[in-house]
Amino acid sequence: MTRARDNPSPEFVQEVQELLSIHEDDAPVACATDDRLVMQWTSPAWDRRARLVPALTHPQVVGRPFVEGIMPPLHAFYRAELLRTLADGEVWRHEYLGPTRDKLMVCLLTVHPMKRHGGLLLVHTQIFAREHENLVVEPDLGRYVDARGTMQVCGSCRVAQRQDGAGSWDFLPVLLGPHEPIPTVWTLCPSCAVHYERLGDAAESPRSQRPRAAAAPVDQSSPTDPNGK
């Protein structure tokens, strides 16, 4: 098996391009890993989307574990599913949330096993976007930090939990832009926790017996991008 290093081999890129041709997307947001889930390749559209996080763009990201681009509460889920995809050789599809300052994107991750090189090609497509719920444009950030000055933020949809007794989970666009650093505990909000718990339970059964991929959570009354940017 060929293992791509700093510059993936032409054969590796060729397999990537063959798999990408299925997607009919002129500018796919995609990356590829080797069989240890170490990043080997990113598409130009990936690099453009990740430009605010240079560590996630080529060539800095090459040689880094894929899960470093995922929020910590989801590391175990992605790692397990990606390794399973490598093992069973079947395409894996997963819906996830990609919050931006303006909208909440519901995205589809399609993961192709690379049969000739033993790695994975990961392609992100946006399914639809909707308005944020519980949007607080000009928050009093003091309401979101606990007595130690720490903020609880969902690693999936990026809502922050109010700590002043209200307990609600609100989307604060300011957190996606430049702001004073706030110590953050990455967690899952109740809605995302239920979603990933269900997916985790489903993962216990063989993929061939699973129902079609569960829908991403749409109830954000109490609600990332491997890609979260």
Q: Which residues bind Zn ion (CB under 5 A)?
A: 154, 156-157, 189, 192, 223
**Distance, CA of 222 to CA of 134 (rounded, Å):** 9
Nearer to Zn ion, 69 or 223 (CB): 223
Q: Are 191 and 223 in contact (CB under 8 A)?
A: yes
Nearer to Zn ion, 3 or 103 (CB): 103
Q: Least distance from C-beta 109 to Zn ion, angstroms?
A: 17
Q: Least distance from C-beta 189 to Zn ion, angstroms?
A: 3
Nearer to Zn ion, 109 or 157 (CB): 157
List Cβ neighbours of 130 (8 Å cut-off, separation of 6 or more): 103, 104, 106, 218
Q: Least distance from C-beta 123 to Zn ion, angstroms?
A: 23
Q: Least distance from C-beta 224 to Zn ion, angstroms?
A: 8
Nearer to Zn ion, 121 or 154 (CB): 154
Nearer to Zn ion, 146 or 219 (CB): 219
- The CA distances from residue 219 to 109, 111, 190, 216, in Å, are 20, 26, 10, 9
Q: Are 1 and 36 in contact (CB under 8 A)?
A: no
Give me the residues paired with residue 113 across strands: 120
Q: Least distance from C-beta 219 to Zn ion, angstroms?
A: 11
Q: Least distance from C-beta 46 to Zn ion, angstroms?
A: 23
**Distance, CA of 93 to CA of 215 (rounded, Å):** 11
Here the tokens at position 20 are 């990408």
Nearer to Zn ion, 121 or 175 (CB): 175
List Cβ neighbours of 204 (8 Å cut-off, separation of 6 or more): none
